[in-house]
Structures are given as C-alpha cells and as structure tokens.
Structure 1
Amino acid sequence: MSKCKKLLIFGATGLVGRHIVQQIIKGKDAFDRIAIFTSPRTVSSKSGDIADLKNSGIEILVGNITDEDDVKKAYQGIDTVISAVGRNMIQHQTELIRLADETPNIHRFFPSEYGTDIEHGPESAGEKPHQNKLKVRSFIRSCRNLEYTFLVTGPYADGDPVLYLSPNHGATVTGSFDVRTKKAVLLGSGDLKIAFTTMTDVGKLLLAALTHPDASRNKALKVKSFTTTDTAILEAFEKQTGGEKWDVSYTSVEDLKRLEKEAWQTGNPLATVMTLRRIWATGGTLYDKWDNEVIGTPAVQNLAEAVTAAIDVQLHGEQELKRKLV
C-alpha cells in the first residue's frame, strides 16, 4: 500500500492553493513532511504569507518551476506532488509529471484539476478550456511509475472576483451576485441545478484524498460541497443582507451560448469564463453518484455558510480572505 506522507505543493500561494495548504496544515499530523515550491519573486512579494507558512511548520523550497534542476532538487525526499498552478501553467505540468515519473521516491501526483469535469461526456473533448487539462490527463496516464488522483470539484462557491458568488464584474450578464448593489443576474429561469465546492472544501477534500491513498489511487474523484440553483443562492444572499429583495435579471442559456460564441470570435479574454458557465448551466457538474464517501465523507460547507463567506469577501476583500484562512 502506497502512502502519501511527504508532500510537495506547487502553486501554494495562489487562489485555491492557499486554501489547500491551510487544510493540509490543519491535518499536518498525518504527514512526515510538507513543503511548498515557490519562486524568488513570490518569496519577496508575499513575504508575510511565506513567513506564516514557515511558522506553521511548512518547508519553503525556492526555485524556478521551469528549471529542471530546481524541480529535481525539490523532488528529493518527496513521495507525493500536489499541483495547484493556474491556467497559464496547466500544460507545463506535463514536464513536472515527467520528472516525477523519473524520480523513484515519488509515487503520486495530484494535477491541478480542481474545477469542471473535463471528461463529463463525449462533448467534453471539444471544449476549448479543457484542452490543456486533457493533455495533462493523457500524459500522466501514460506514465510507467506514477499514480495519480484527479480531484474534480465543479465551480468554486466563493465570492472572490469572477467566481460564482461574486459580482463577476465585466461579465455580469453571464451570472452575478453583487452584495454592494444588491443586484443579481441568474442563468435560465434560475432553477438550473449546479454542483459547487467552496475553495475551503477543495482543501478539505484533497486532504481526505491524501489520507485515503488507496481509495483515491488512479481515480477522478467527483466531489462537492452542495448542489443548488441560482434562485436558492439569491434567496440566501437576500436573507443575509437584510431580507429585502434584490434587483434581479435573467440570461437565458441561448443568450449565454450566443455571448460565448461572440467572445471566442472576438478574442474576448472572458471567453473561457463564458464557456465554463454554459457548461455548468447545462448539467456539466451533475452525476448520479459522488465520491465524497469514498474518501471518508469529510465535513463540507453548506450554501448558507458559503454565502456568508462570499459576503465577507465581497465587502472586505483580501483582508477578510486572510482572516478566514487562519
């Protein structure tokens, strides 16, 4: 039985990475070693975050993620690699995976999957935002020595910019919940079901996968915090912001598809967001069976808790986000 005891994390100070690290810190007694790989620039620009991680017992390894020698050095003494890199670095994971497969002491790799299921059905293979992740999955499945776990979470139920419980500035017509103006844009008629995971729960669920290594071995784990509708989300926001009704408008799935097509044609940088929201609105996060139970059914947040956190982030931003992670 292979165990995940000596961890190396890429992207640890990023959007979802910091949530993952904080949950791993809470469960650190289950591990022999926890290290993050970060750049000299991040050490300088996020010195406070790095100091907090050191004080929590995290080992800081500094190098260039595109430098083979730096990565090889970081891999020494590690048995499990966790990637939380952003979309701009997704395809580079194939190089990280190749080096991991060539490193005898490494046996498990968690690529940066957290989000939409890129193999939900036959149509998934043609979705533009999925292409780099699909290449990573194909590559890791071809490895001779490396095990893998794909943690599929669906959209993040958080209030940070562009996420589902945010004002979604710049693309409000594709769905938004704006606490300051008390305005919302719902998709369809508001009754479309979507499965969500908060970023805090991404960390909890990844921790559970690490501590259930056999159950998560070579699997795409489909996990969630809760399934709900835009109408239910709106009602939760209204209840927690004084009880008065918000100003609500709707975007049909047909209009969302039209906006998505136009965005790709014109090179709009929000095209990826529009495609993902169309996938979510048309059932691309739903399954007959979920895998939370396979990894021990960790406690996850509910809709009311997610909305409370989203309101805090919308009103107080980075300061409130850091407070929540402590």
Structure 2
Amino acid sequence: MASQPPTPKKIIIFGATGVIGKYITQALVDNKSKFESIAIFTSQNTVENKAAEVEQLKNEGVKVVVGDIKNEEDVTSAYEGYDTVVSALSRSTITNQTQLLALAERSNSITSFYPSEYGTDITYNPLTSPHEKPHQDKLRVRAFVESSIKRLLVTYLVTGPYSDMYMGKPIGEGGKAGGFDVKDKKAVLLGSGDEEVSFTTMADVGKLLVASLETPFVASDASSPNTRIFKVNSFTTTPHRILAEFEKQTGGEKWKTVYTPLAELKSLESLAWEKGIPSATAYTLRRIWTEGGTLYKQSDNVKVGDPKTESLEEQVRKLVGR
C-alpha cells in the first residue's frame, strides 16, 4: 500500500504581492503556526517598489527570496529547503509556471505544486472551454502538467470569479461589462439579472488555499494520480440579489439600474477582441459567468474541511465601507 504523501509544511510563494497573491500570502501568514516556514520569491523591482509591504512580511517571519523568475539557477536555489510551491502569478505571467513546474519536478525537496488556477473554471464545458481566448495560457499549463509532470503532486484550486471585483464599479466601455457604483448608487446588471454565479471573495481564496494545503492528497481521477481539483466558492447569487443587498445596506433607496443583455454582451466582447481593447478579457469572462460557466450546484468546500466563508451580506458590507 502506497504511503500517504506528507502534508505541506514549508511553503514558497510566487506572485505573493500581486492582486490575489497578497490575499493568499496573508492567509498563510495568519496561519503560520501550522507551517514550519513561509517564503516569497520576488524580484528586486518589487522589493524596491513595494518596500513597506515586503518589510511587513519580513516582520511577520516570512523569508524574502529575491531573484529572476526566468532564471533557472535563481528558482532552483530558492526551492531548496521548501516542499510546496504556491503560485499566484497574474494572467500576463502565467506561462512562466511551466518552467517553475519543470524545475520543481527535478527538485530534491519540492513535492507539491499549486498552480495559479484561481478564477474561472477553464474546463467548465469540454466543447467550448478549449476555445475561450482568456483560457489558453492556463490550458497550456495544464497540458504541460499532463505531459511532463510524473512525480509532483499538483492541486488546482478553482475558485470562480472574485466577488470583490465583480461587485466593484462598472467596467468596460460605458460600464457595459457590469458592476456596482456605491457612491452614485448605480448598477449595470448582466443578462436578465437572474442568472446564478458562484463567487469567491478574495480573502476566502486565501482561506480555502490554506484549507486545501491541510487536506491529505487524494487524486481526483485515477487516470491522473498526481493531480487533484477542488472547485470551491464563498456563495452563489444573482445580480438582482447583489443589487438588493447593496440597496439594503445603503439606506433602502432604489439604485439607478441598467442592463447589458447577454446578446449585447457578446457583441461588445467580439468588438473588443477585434479592436484589441484591453477590456476584451473582462467581457469574455463575464459572458462566461453569465452563461453559467462558473456555477457550482455542489462545491468541493466540504472536501477541504468546509471552512467558514464570507456571505454576500459580508462582502457587500466590505464594499460599502470602502
């Protein structure tokens, strides 16, 4: 009988000060008593430009390893003494994970790897997912894992969209990609407003990552014994329910509300890609969510110990209080 893989105890994080990385890093720091050591790998540029943030991490007992993520020697050296890599690399740098994975596979100490998979489920539909433009880099990373990783234990933590961002101010040209403006009490709702989406707060991404680290490794599929997938979330709701909660927490007054129907959203998405507009990715992701591409009738929260997650009410309270 195969022995149970060791529980991760020595963690090194890549992308630790990024958009989602800072939440993941904070959750690890908040739970540092559960781990033997925590480190971040970062660039000299980050050390200089985010000096206060980096210094605070040092004060919390986090080791700061400075190097170039594209330099094999820097990464190989950084891996020494750690057993788990947690990647929080941004969408623009996500393909760097193939080298990180390859070096981890050859490492004498790294046994577990958590790729940056937070966000939209890139395999939600076997027919359409492979063709979605924002999914391509993550799909390449998964393909690399399938073809080249034989020893490492790889965990994909799929969280669904970040509610903090979805419920922020309207984005896209004219705000057509949806959002909620607390100051002016205006909302742009996508679709009919009744389509359900499974969201995760950014703080909960970190909490669920820590919970998954503590969960003994069991492969999700016998055909891929070195990989597992956790599809987790904080809550499932609709644009109309979100709006109602904002109205409730801002005095009960009805907000000015407009809609971007799904057909219009698709049209704006096509135009944005055609013109090379930066918001094209946002249009695609929000179209996928509105279509139900990240709707989990049953999440894997229970598989990672079912940690307490934030509610819609708590998320809105945070956003109203900003």
Fold agreement, TM-score > 0.5: yes
For 1:63 and 1:39, how far apart are their aligned partners in 2? Answer: 5
Paired letter, 1:83: S
Q: Which moved more, 1:106-115 or 1:215-224?
A: 215-224
Cα offsets for 1:38-84 (capped at 9, x unmatched): 11111111111111111111111111111111101100011100000
In the other structure, the counterpart of 2:140 is 135
In the other structure, the counterpart of 2:169 is 167
Aligned counterparts, 1:117-156, within 5 A = 117-122=121-126, 123-142=128-147, 143-156=149-162
In the other structure, the counterpart of 1:246 is 255
For 1:277 and 1:312, how far apart are their aligned partners in 2? Answer: 25
Q: How many residues align?
A: 309
For 2:238 and 2:15, how far apart are their aligned partners in 1? Answer: 31
In the other structure, the counterpart of 2:54 is 50
Is it true that 1:5 corresponds to 2:14 in the alignment?
no
Cα offsets for 1:76-132 (capped at 9, x unmatched): 011100000101101111011111111021111101110000011111011000000
In the other structure, the counterpart of 1:212 is 215
Aligned counterparts, 1:1-326, within 5 A = 1-2=4-5, 3-122=7-126, 123-142=128-147, 143-158=149-164, 163-171=165-173, 172-215=175-218, 218-313=227-322
Q: What percentage of residue pairs aligned between the two structures are identical?
A: 51
For 1:141 and 1:103, how far apart are their aligned partners in 2? Answer: 18
Paired letter, 1:150: Y
Gaps of 5+ in 2: 220-225
For 1:188 and 1:211, how far apart are their aligned partners in 2? Answer: 38
C-alpha RMSD over aligned residues: 1.2
Gaps of 5+ in 1: 314-326
For 1:74 and 1:166, how far apart are their aligned partners in 2? Answer: 37
For 2:190 and 2:33, how far apart are their aligned partners in 1? Answer: 43
For 1:277 and 1:187, how far apart are their aligned partners in 2? Answer: 8
| CA positional deviation for 1:239 | 1.2
In the other structure, the counterpart of 1:322 is none
Q: TM-score, normalised by structure 2?
A: 0.94
For 2:170 and 2:216, how far apart are their aligned partners in 1? Answer: 37
For 2:237 and 2:298, how far apart are their aligned partners in 1? Answer: 16
Alignment check: 8 A CA contact 1:76 1:105 kept: yes
| CA positional deviation for 1:287 | 3.0
For 2:277 and 2:25, how far apart are their aligned partners in 1? Answer: 33
Cα offsets for 1:255-278 (capped at 9, x unmatched): 111111111111111111000000
For 1:287 and 1:199, how far apart are their aligned partners in 2? Answer: 18
